[in-house]
Amino acid sequence: MKHLIITNGTVVADQLIERGTVVTIGDRIMLVAGEEEGRRILEAASPHVFEIIDARGGLIAPGLIDVHMHGCAGVELMDGTSEALETMARFVAREGTVAFLPSTVTAQEDKTRAACAAVAAYTDIEDGAELLGIHLEGPYINEKFKGAQYAPAIRGASIDELEELYGLLGSKLKLVTLAPEVPGSLEAVAWLKERGITVSIGHSDATYEEALAGFARGITHVTHTFNAMRGLHHREPGVVGAVLATPGLYAELIADLIHVHPGAIKVLLRSVGVEHLVLVTDSVQATGLPDGEYVLGDNKIFVRDGAARLAEGNLAGSTLTMRQAVQNMVEQLGVHPVDAFRMASLNPARTIGLEHRGWIKEGSRADFVLLTADYEVQKTIVSGRVVYSAD
C-alpha cells in the first residue's frame, strides 16, 4: 500500500484550510499543510512512495462515523448474516461513512443473539466501511415510547441476558440504549459501565428525576434526542428537560428535518453545544431505495416521500445518510462546516470511546471523505486506503 498525499482541496480541520494538503503514512495522518507547504511536499514526493490524490477543489473532510443505523440498500442488522453487514458496509462507504455501529431493534432473545453472533463473526471487507461493533437498542425500553420497536418483545433489563451477549461480543458491544425507569435498568447501567460500554437513554418515559438518576449511574448518551421520549413540560421537564439541563451528555440528532423541527435543533445546539451533538441516521433497509413497503425487525414499515413509518403513522427510522445529515446542518441550519463535520465524526468517535479517530490532525487515523462543493462523495478513505471512488 502506498502512502497518500491528498491535495488541492479545503481541509476540514480545527479550521478550514483552503488549498490544503494532507499526508498519510500507513494508517496515520503525518502532516496537515497549507498551500505553500503543500506545494513543496508535492515537488519532493516520490511517486514510488506516495499516491497523489487530487481533491479537485472540493472538501477534504474527516470520514463520517454513524453510531446508530439499522440498515440500508435492502438489508438490516436483524437479518443476522455477514452478507447483510457487507452490503451495509459497502453502501455507507459510498456515502462517505468510514465506520458504523449497526443497531438492533427490540426482538425476541434468539433473534437478538443471531444479530450479535453475526457481528461477532464479521470480518471487515476491503471495499467497505469499518464495522465498529454493535448498538443494542432495546429491548429494555418503555412500551409507552416504543416508537417503531416491536412491543411483544419489550422486557425488563436482564444482567443474565447482557452477560450472554457480552460473552458473544466482548469489546464489540459498544452502545446500549435503555429506559432507566424500566425494572433492572439502573443495575444494568452500572454493569455496562464497569465494562466500558456506553449507555444511552432512549425510548423512555422517565421523569426528570428518574433521568437524572440514570445519568448519575453512568448514562452518558441520548438516543435520537426528542424522539421516543417524555418531552419537556414546565412542571415536569421529563427526559428532554433532563437532557437539556445536564452538561456533558452526547446527544444524538436525526437531522433529516422530518424527525426534529429546525427550531428544536437550534434549542438542542444551544443547550449541548457543537462539542456534544452527535449526528446519526437511524437508517432502515429502505435507505438508498425507492418508496415502498419494507421491514424493521418484526414490524412492517412504509416509506413515502422518503419518510419511513409504521402503518399507524409512527416514524420508523429514516432514509437519511450521514453525508446528507451534514449537508442539512450546513445548508438548512447555517452550521459552520467545521462544526457540522465534528458532529458527524469526532463526537461519534468520542461518545463510544474511540481514540485518535474522527478528526484531521497529525497522529490520528487516516480516515477521510472527499466531497464536491455540492457534497457529492468523490472518495472514501479508511485507514489510509481508498475503499470507494466515484471515478
User: Comparing C-alpha atoms, which of 24, 57, 100, 34 is closest to residue 376?
Assistant: 57
CB-CB contact of 93 with 382 (8 Å): yes
Look at residue 290 and give its three-state secondary structure. coil
Q: Is residue 305 annotated as a catalytic residue, yes or no?
A: no
Identify residue 307 by its one-letter amino acid code: A
94-111 as b/e: b if 16+ CB within 10 A: bbbbbbbbbbbbbbeeeb
* Neighbouring C-beta atoms of residue 214, cutoff 10 Å: 25
Cα 55–60–66 angle (5° rounding)? 130
Burial class (CB in 10 A: 0-12, 13-18, 19+), 355: exposed
Residue whose C-alpha cell is 409512527: 314
Of the candidates 66, 282, 339, 367, the residue annotated as catalytic is 282
Q: Are 241 and 230 in contact (CB under 8 A)?
A: no
Q: Where on the phi/psi map is residue 116: left (φ > 0), alpha (ψ -120 to 50), or beta?
A: alpha
Please count the other Cβ atoms lying within 10 Å of the Cβ belonging to residue 283: 32
Active-site positions read 282
